[in-house]
Amino acid sequence: MPRLALTELTLSHFRSHKSARMVLDGRPVAIYGPNGAGKTNILEAISLLSPGRGLRRAAADEIARKPEALGWKVSGVLQSLRQMHEVETWAESGSSRTVRIDEKAAAQVALGRIARVLWLVPSMDRLWIEGAEGRRRFLDRLTLSFEPGHAEASLTYEKAMRERNRLLKDQQRDAVWYGALEAQMAKAGAVIQQNRIAALNRIAAAQDGAETAFPTATLALLGPDSTEIPSEESELLSAFAAGRGQDLYAGRTLVGPHRADLEAVYAAKGVPAKQCSTGEQKALLISLILANARALAEDFGAPPLLLLDEVAAHLDAGRRAALYDEICALGAQAWMTGTGAELFDSLGERAQYFEVVEDGGISQIIERPTE
């Protein structure tokens, strides 16, 4: 059966880990230990085997272990469908991040072609009640999992928008300058919006008829004040041109994909996610991650790597067991953290277990026998 799984993971001078190596057999991975021991650092390292800045959105020079500050490196052996790949990413002190796949230099976007990585971390628990920026970032990570080229469109759009905003702040009124930048923004922006809509449709399809213990979320992509952001290039181009007067007054671009927001409703209750309890909000997030994983299993050919940090928070024993059952049924290599081994009791022999302890400021990873 095609799989997506790490069979080896090696960390060098990565945050609290000076040197560590894990050998995996493809089963879910349960990582436990006290707070501050370095559990989340392992998940962050794996997240950097995908395009972008990882689950903490850290700059390359923030990751290196202190006080040495020698740079850092993450490497792994990845089974991707029926092929094996050696994947490495690192940053030397003062340098940007580098990627190598099968001993050849590669762009970050190439990581998205051989692997799909999804994550759920405690900071996302407030996703539905905080600002739109976090939900937009969540949406774009979800979209990127289906379409690795989404990152390129986003970079093109943001670069052109920064130039347009500079003109706006300087009160420039040259229509030719604006027209050239707006054409770039409209072309890239249409791709962004269409990718997002396609991703939400895939999530909706994956939720329909799924046997799950977690609540279904109805999702909608909206603009400011619940307006609709155009998804066609010509419509975006017209919107940018029409908005120049207001944008000059504001000193920034007020319409476009960068203003999108993701709205979620607890479908069974008809209640907006932002009005749900903490436990319900967590359950909705887990439901979306699982739906994303199910859709990717169909589209990519194997379920993604799942990084679930402190996943037991706000889940009772019954729902934890249900989550583990769904992960195992899906066939995903899920990397899960928690403070104690007892949080993973219902996994039994279906998982590998690792304890992380801290000794003199250095994290140690110890494989424990299956209980």
**Residue 111 forms part of a structural domain:** yes
SS3 breakdown of the chain: % helix, strand, coil, rounded to 5? Answer: 45, 25, 30
Question: Across the strands, what pairs with 263?
Answer: 220
Q: Which two tokens stand for residue 236?
A: 């975006």
**Residue 305 forms part of a structural domain:** yes
Element (H, E) at 334: strand 334-338
pTM above 0.75, yes or no: yes
Give the percent of the chain with pLDDT over 90.
86
**Residue 240 forms part of a structural domain:** no
- Asked whether the predicted pLDDT for residue 1 surpasses 80, the reply is no
Question: Across the strands, what pairs with 358?
Answer: 363
Instruction: Mention every residue, 6+ apart, whose C-beta is less than 8 A from residue 123.
Output: none
pLDDT in tens, 35-59: 999 999 999 999 999 998 999 999 9
What's the number of domains the chain is made of? 1
- Asked whether the predicted pLDDT for residue 175 surpasses 70, the reply is yes
Cα(87)–Cα(103) distance, rounded to whole angstroms? Answer: 8
pLDDT in tens, 83-132: 999 999 999 988 899 999 999 999 998 999 999 999 999 999 999 999 99
Instruction: Mention every residue, 6+ apart, whose C-beta is less than 8 A from residue 65.
Output: 13, 14, 15, 16, 17, 18, 72
CA distances from residue 2 to 26, 84, 331 in whole angstroms, order as listed: 11, 11, 10
The angle subtended at Cα 201 by Cα 327 and Cα 129, nearest 5°, is 75
**Residue 285 forms part of a structural domain:** no
CATH of the domain at 18: 3.40.50.300
The pLDDT-based confidence of 371 (bands split at 50, 70, 90) is low
pLDDT in tens, 135-165: 999 999 999 999 988 989 999 999 999 999 9
Strands (E), 65-216: 71-81, 83-92, 98-101, 104-106, 117-120
Residue 266 one-letter amino acid:
Y
**Residue 130 forms part of a structural domain:** no
**Residue 343 forms part of a structural domain:** yes
Cα(214)–Cα(175) distance, rounded to whole angstroms? Answer: 52
Per the annotation, binding residues for ATP are 33-40
The mean pLDDT of the chain is: 94
**Residue 134 forms part of a structural domain:** no
pLDDT at residue 211 in the model: 84
* CB contact at 8 A, 269 and 295: no
**Residue 244 forms part of a structural domain:** no
pLDDT at residue 148 in the model: 87
Per the annotation, binding residues are 33-40
Range of the domain at 71: 1-116+300-371
Cα(201)–Cα(228) distance, rounded to whole angstroms? Answer: 17
